[in-house]
């Protein structure tokens, strides 16, 4: 998959930018606060329903303007698609080849991009919610059916919680059964995804960190030991029954896939408690690489890789390992740094270089 051209207007601090990125490596360098991450965010948004930075659409529109616009021409499987995104405070409008798109699923797979940014490492140390958000987004990217069952589950959860809060609990059993039904589908799809990623994670961790530590990704949903939807459904029903008393007391569903967590282990120990910052960063990067692999297998071609703030992320050795690996793959990569790093340019052949200043981009050559 390749982004052949991208045009951005009135998006965050970018007034107008139009570039034709290089097929392989692209370096966007500039001082702090100039618009490097903003450009990566614009690219990411072309293929994703949500930003990796914010849920609030008005933040994305340049101060004083009414709407932000992003256009991209994407080559995938020999076919070129033109994607257009208009963002306003009230909502976003997407067009593919001039035709309005109303469902998120229609955009699915049109521009796959995996981002690795400084904020991502936070998910190791933060609460389960950020890991769940990552998991849900990552599963959805490679599994179009996931969004539908995720929405169903959350719709039913809302209904059940509403009943739990009210004095009349008629119908609670029916909602509980429905919740177990859709919850089992959510869990089955998550388990499949985690099992695939766990098998490749180890390889990528070794590629980046060069060490011999064993890295594991785990997902152990509460009350569930089965991996197939039918038995998971029964186990979830049991779980909901066990928690019914406390659910009624708190007026909310206190266990289930909406509370589950991912586990990150290094040498059989929790990465959160025992991993150094560098190990945590390497782990998350390896996770993203495994995710790219999975997307490659699903779609038959690599997603874009957006590496934000590379200079601050990894040490020189790990950076070198990463670049060496990336040169062996057919991946279009966008890297942002604060300096026009000579070692990076040496490692990235034919890298297209862009200087970012005050929301403007200047092409400086390959």
**Binding positions for Mg ion, rule: CB under 5 A:** 37
Q: Tell how strand 25-29 and strand 99-101 pair up.
A: unpaired
Q: In whole angstroms, what is the distance from residue 336 CA to residue 325 CA?
A: 18
Instruction: Supply the DSSP symbol for 60.
Output: G
The vertex-75 CA angle with 103 and 111, nearest 5°, equals 35
Whichever of 117 and 200 has its CB closer to Mg ion, that residue is: 117
Which tokens belong to 225?
């030991």
Among 8, 25, 38, 333, binds ligand ATP (CB under 6 A): 38
User: Residue 142 interacts with ligand ATP (CB under 6 A)?
Assistant: no
Among 188, 247, 293, 309, binds ligand ATP (CB under 6 A): 309
38 binds, among ligand ATP, Mg ion, none (CB under 5 to 8 A by kind): ligand ATP
User: Residue 319 interacts with ligand ATP (CB under 6 A)?
Assistant: no
- The least distance separating ligand ATP from the CB of residue 86, rounded to whole angstroms, comes to 15
32 binds, among ligand ATP, Mg ion, none (CB under 5 to 8 A by kind): ligand ATP
Q: In whole angstroms, what is the distance from residue 112 CA to residue 298 CA?
A: 11
User: Residue 254 interacts with ligand ATP (CB under 6 A)?
Assistant: no
Whichever of 38 and 176 has its CB closer to Mg ion, that residue is: 38
Q: Strand order of the sheet with strand 79-88?
A: 14-19, 2-11, 67-76, 79-88, 91-96, 99-101
Helix residue ranges per DSSP H, 300-334: 310-313, 316-327
User: Residue 328 interacts with ligand ATP (CB under 6 A)?
Assistant: no
Whichever of 37 and 294 has its CB closer to Mg ion, that residue is: 37
- The least distance separating ligand ATP from the CB of residue 289, rounded to whole angstroms, comes to 22
Q: Which residues contact 88 (CB under 8 A, 6 or more apart)?
A: 57, 61, 66, 67
User: Residue 99 interacts with ligand ATP (CB under 6 A)?
Assistant: no
Could you give the 3-state DSSP secondary structure of residue 61? strand
Task: Please state, in angstroms and as integers, the Cα–Cα distance from residue 56 to each residue in 37, 50, 61, 162, 249, following that order.
Answer: 17, 9, 10, 26, 33
Q: In whole angstroms, what is the distance from residue 13 CA to residue 50 CA?
A: 19
Among 4, 7, 13, 82, binds ligand ATP (CB under 6 A): 13
Q: In whole angstroms, what is the distance from residue 298 CA to residue 292 CA?
A: 10
- The least distance separating Mg ion from the CB of residue 360, rounded to whole angstroms, comes to 16
Helix, strand, coil tally for the chain in percent (to 5): 45, 25, 30
Whichever of 117 and 302 has its CB closer to ligand ATP, that residue is: 117
User: Residue 37 interacts with ligand ATP (CB under 6 A)?
Assistant: yes
User: Residue 110 interacts with ligand ATP (CB under 6 A)?
Assistant: no
111 binds, among Mg ion, ligand ATP, none (CB under 5 to 8 A by kind): none
34 binds, among ligand ATP, Mg ion, none (CB under 5 to 8 A by kind): ligand ATP
Whichever of 260 and 309 has its CB closer to ligand ATP, that residue is: 309
User: Residue 69 interacts with ligand ATP (CB under 6 A)?
Assistant: no
Instruction: Supply the DSSP symbol for 72.
Output: E
Whichever of 37 and 121 has its CB closer to Mg ion, that residue is: 37
Q: In whole angstroms, what is the distance from residue 109 CA to residue 231 CA?
A: 31
- The least distance separating ligand ATP from the CB of residue 11, rounded to whole angstroms, comes to 8
Name the residues that contact ligand ATP, by CB under 6 A: 12-13, 30, 32-38, 59, 61-63, 309, 338, 356
């Amino acid at each position: 998959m390749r982004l052949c051209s991208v045009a951005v207007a009135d998006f965050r601090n970018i007034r107008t930018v139009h570039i034709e990125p290089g097929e392989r490596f692209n370096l966007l360098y500039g001082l702090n606060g100039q618009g490097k991450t903003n450009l990566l965010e614009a690219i990411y948004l072309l293929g994703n329903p949500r930003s990796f930075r914010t849920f609030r659409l008005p933040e994305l529109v340049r101060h004083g303007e009414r709407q932000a616009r992003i256009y991209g021409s994407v080559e995938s499987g020999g076919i070129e698609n033109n994607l257009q995104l208009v963002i306003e405070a009230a909502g976003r409008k997407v067009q593919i080849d001039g035709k309005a798109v109303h469902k998120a699923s229609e955009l699915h797979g049109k521009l796959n991009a995996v981002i690795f940014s400084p904020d991502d490492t936070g998910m190791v140390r933060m609460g389960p919610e950020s890991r769940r958000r990552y998991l849900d987004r990552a599963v959805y990217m490679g599994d179009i059916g996931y969004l539908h069952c995720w929405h169903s589950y959350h719709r039913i959860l809302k209904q059940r919680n509403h009943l739990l809060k009210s004095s009349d609990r008629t119908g609670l059993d029916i909602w509980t059964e429905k919740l177990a039904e859709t919850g089992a589908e959510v869990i089955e799809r998550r388990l499949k995804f985690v099992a695939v990623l766990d098998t490749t994670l180890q390889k990528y961790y070794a590629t980046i960190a060069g060490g011999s530590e064993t890295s594991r990704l785990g997902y152990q949903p509460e009350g569930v030991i089965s991996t197939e939807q039918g038995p998971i459904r029964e186990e979830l029903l049991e779980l909901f029954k066990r928690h019914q008393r406390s659910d009624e007391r708190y007026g909310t569903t206190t266990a289930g896939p909406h509370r589950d967590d991912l586990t990150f282990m290094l040498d059989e120990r929790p990465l959160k408690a025992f991993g150094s910052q560098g190990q945590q960063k390497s782990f998350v990067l390896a996770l993203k690489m495994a995710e790219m692999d999975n997307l490659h297998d699903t779609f038959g071609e690599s997603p874009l890789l957006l590496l934000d703030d590379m200079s601050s992320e990894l040490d020189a050795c790990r950076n070198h390992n990463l670049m060496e690996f990336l040169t062996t793959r057919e991946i279009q990569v966008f890297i942002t740094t604060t300096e026009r790093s000579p070692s990076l340019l040496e490692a990235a052949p034919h890298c297209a270089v862009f200087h970012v200043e005050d929301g403007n981009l200047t092409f400086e050559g390959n």
